[in-house]
Structure 1
Amino acid sequence: MNFLWSLFMRKPALRQFALLDAQGRCQAFKECNQPPVGNGWVEIDEIRLSWMHRPLPARARVSPRPAQSSRHQPLAA
C-alpha cells in the first residue's frame, strides 16, 4: 500500500551545492534536499564538472533562500 501512495506523493526537489576552499575554488559537489552541514558550502543553480578545482563563476550561485517558518503566516492582516 505504501508503494501506491509513493506514486502520488510529490518528491521534494533536490538542490545543488558546491564546497569552496579559502580561495573560492570548487572542491566538491553535493545534491540534497537541505543545505549540507559545515562551512564553505554554497548553493548553485547547476553542477558542472568543469568547475572542479577552479573558481566558481559568480553567475552559478543561487541567491540565499529565506528561512521557512514552521508556522503558516496569514495572507492578509
Structure 2
Amino acid sequence: MKLLRSLFAPRQAFRNFALLDYQGRCQALRQSRVPPVGDGWVEIEEIRLNWLHQPLPASAYLSTRATTARVQPILAT
C-alpha cells in the first residue's frame, strides 16, 4: 500500500545549489530536494558547468522564494 501511495504522492522538485569559496567563485554544483548543509551554498536558477571556478553572474542567483509550506493530503484512506 505504501508503494501505491508513493507513486501518486506529489514529489518535491529538485533545486539547484552552488558552493562559493571566500572569493565568490563557484567550487561545486549540486541538485537536490533539500539545501546542502554547510557554509557557502547558495541557491541558483540553473546549473551550468562553465561556472565552475568562475564568479557567478548576478542573473544566476535565485530570487527570494516563498517559504510557506504547501500542505496537501496524500490519499484518502
Fold similarity call, TM over 0.5: yes
Q: Which runs of 5+ in 1 are unaligned?
A: 70-77
Report what 1:38 is aligned to: 38
Aligned counterparts of 2:6 and 2:67: Cα–Cα separation in 1? 27
Deviations 1:8-32 (A, max 9, x none): 1111011110000111110001112
Counterpart in 2 of 1:21? 21
| Aligned length, in residue pairs | 69
Letter of the aligned partner of 1:56 in structure 2? Answer: L
TM-score, normalising length from structure 1? Answer: 0.78
Give the root-mean-square deviation of aligned CA atoms: 1.5
Structure 1: 4+ residue segments shifted above 2 A:
64-69
Give the equivalent residue in structure 1 for 2:12: 12
Q: Aligned partner of 1:16: which letter? A: N
Residue of structure 1 in register with 2:73 after alignment: none
* Identity score, percent: 58
